[in-house]
A and B are shown apart, each in its own frame.
Chain A
Amino acid sequence: ETGVTQSPTHLIKTRGQQVTLRCSSQSGHNTVSWYQQALGQGPQFIFQYYREEENGRGNFPPRFSGLQFPNYSSELNVNALELDDSALYLCASSYDGYEQYFGPGTRLTVT
């Protein structure tokens, strides 16, 4: 059984640029959630996708958007990057939103 994978591992972007992060969910899972974790903080919920539809969103602006594909993999897109977007971005998959399993994360640095 393959766990949750994320790519890339690390990324450096300049303020104002756009970035796409990718996540492959665990086999058999149909729900993907994205979280942002700033240094020294707990993860903050960005949004969740269930069967290709967004069904929950945290307190993040519209420049954070996402997609879920028919194979339940997912993308997180962030437009107009700001310095405060520097964080560890975590993807979690689950079956019907039950127990969530997290990937290793993507470390984004905005300069």
Chain B
Amino acid sequence: KQEVTQIPAALSVPEGENLVLNCSFTDSAIYNLQWFRQDPGKGLTSLLLIQSSQREQTSGRLNASLDKSSGRSTLYIAASQPGDSATYLCAVRSDSGYALNFGKGTSLLVTP
């Protein structure tokens, strides 16, 4: 069974800092990995999707990397802004199924 862990559980940084969110997974036989953003009580917004054959994806100030062999992904946020405050979720789809397996998320607070 695929287990997904996100570290840290919570993070508070001042505006302007660059930061890294970590995601690890136990089974390297993955199909793809998605990073999502969730605002309190809301649905999930897809940020980046990395296919198993890719090493990284970039969108604006966001960069996600994937190291399948070590079971790790990182989400890098450059020049953080208060509007980045949200919970960030990592989700892995395994080769053997259709479900996304989620971590518990990292709650990010960016202070002005």
Contacts and interface: CB of A to CB of B under 8 A. Distances in A.
Identify which of B36, B49, B93, B98 gathers the most chain A CB atoms within 10 Å of its CB.
B98
Contact of B98 (A6, A33, A42, A43): A33
A5 to B, nearest CB: 10
Interface string B70-99: 000000000000000000010101000111
A105 B42 contact: yes
B99 A103 contact: no
Q: Say which size band chain A's interface belongs to.
A: 20 to 34
Contacts of B44: 43, 90, 92, 102
Contacts, number: 61
Interface in B29-67: 32, 34, 36, 41-46, 49
A88 B93 CA distance: 21
A48 B34 contact: no
B20 interface: no
B46 A101 contact: yes
Chain B binding surface, main DSSP class: strand
Contacts of A41: 104
A109 to B, nearest CB: 12
Contact of B34 (A97, A100, A103): A100
A107 interface: yes
A45 B41 contact: no
Contacts of A45: 99-101
